[in-house]
Structure 1
């Protein structure tokens, strides 16, 4: 998506923010970028709602819940944030986020991420959602001008006990297959 496309005043019912591992005590630069960009799109009225997507994959924190807490701390109303906690890979963030959007009755859906991830996911989304999911990659020039304060978030209650990292549960090959969407049951109805 270009700056021109953002200026076209397209409004999306919901944007999907793909997760990234959270390692305490605070978010890393990629999570910060995705969350700040999502808040910017919400504040500008480009997104009416936000779906944060991601389970506890590499760290013992559910990525979707951590991002949700940061968004709330930054002023996005809780009732406008939905979490998808099943995804373990980027393709799953898009697919399960899209399915949640459909379940909630949202018609226009976009993925909000960095340009690299957006480019990597574009073909998958185009094929699997029949072009219904659009992309709103971060525009770094705009992002640089936005506040980058780190709000205080109580992440302790979000920690999963007896967590086992995906690197211990799956081989590199199986993780790669997940990355390209091979773990998704596209015929699953719920």
Structure 2
């Protein structure tokens, strides 16, 4: 019995050591990726616009992820990396439209309001970058970058390359960003509030949400757009 307990204890130790090492290596890998991307972006700046994906917002209860993304956007603006910022996100998990909330916060931090924009349709990360990319093109912006945490930036890399060509990555460099508990400014959320809101968890099952995260809606829209383009180019036959 004692031997079995000892073996269990040793396995328990080994598993946790393995997980700790794996997490450390993953962190180092993402940190290296972020710093390398940042240095590349420094050579290419200024960008016409950077895209910042949204985060669910609860009034007076902002998350560390939202603070990180808003302050990183401010750093990029203040440091001359970008002239404009698009904050993206609909009301997905709460009553508040993420893009409007984050734009309002950025404006309150001193970024000129005419240099910030809110994309309010996206409900998934793939949609954040795709709909914002389309908005950027419509606004006449050419040099476009994605500014988010390293993990999400890596996840979106292959999707971005296929559906949003030309978008560069400027993931958060934690050594540069002051990660102290900076509070975000209190804002008037009246314009961001959506009455009659229904959470995506009630509107869609897990599998459908997962497919959305993987870009299903974007792929379907692109397919329909391509079919429409083909139909418009197809010569019309006339009966004599």
User: What is the TM-score when the length of structure 1 is the normalising length?
Assistant: 0.93
User: Contact conserved, 2:68 with 2:179, CA < 8 A, in 1?
Assistant: no
What secondary structure is seen at the aligned counterpart in 2 of 1:82? strand
Q: 1:8 to 1:70 in 2, by over 3 A?
A: same
Q: 1:182 to 1:145 in 2, by over 3 A?
A: closer
Point out the structure with max Rg over C-alpha.
2
The whole-number CA distance in structure 2 between the counterparts of 1:148 and 1:77 is 20
Does structure 1 residue 126 correspond to structure 2 residue 161?
yes
Number of aligned residues: 188
Unaligned runs of 5+ in 1: none
Aligned to 2:84: 49
Does structure 1 residue 140 correspond to structure 2 residue 166?
no
Structure richer in helix, relative to its length: 2
2:136 maps to which of 90, 93, 101: 101
User: Contact conserved, 2:48 with 2:143, CA < 8 A, in 1?
Assistant: yes
Aligned to 2:210: 176
User: Contact conserved, 1:52 with 1:67, CA < 8 A, in 2?
Assistant: yes
Runs of 4+ residues deviating >6 angstroms: none
Does structure 1 residue 21 correspond to structure 2 residue 56?
yes
Cα offsets for 1:139-168 (capped at 9, x unmatched): 000012789342121124421111100000
* Matched ranges for 1:75-114 at <5 A: 75-114=110-149
What secondary structure is seen at the aligned counterpart in 2 of 1:72? helix
Unaligned runs of 5+ in 2: 1-33, 227-240
Aligned to 1:71: 106
The whole-number CA distance in structure 2 between the counterparts of 1:137 and 1:157 is 29
Q: 1:141 to 1:56 in 2, by over 3 A?
A: same
Does structure 1 residue 150 correspond to structure 2 residue 184?
yes
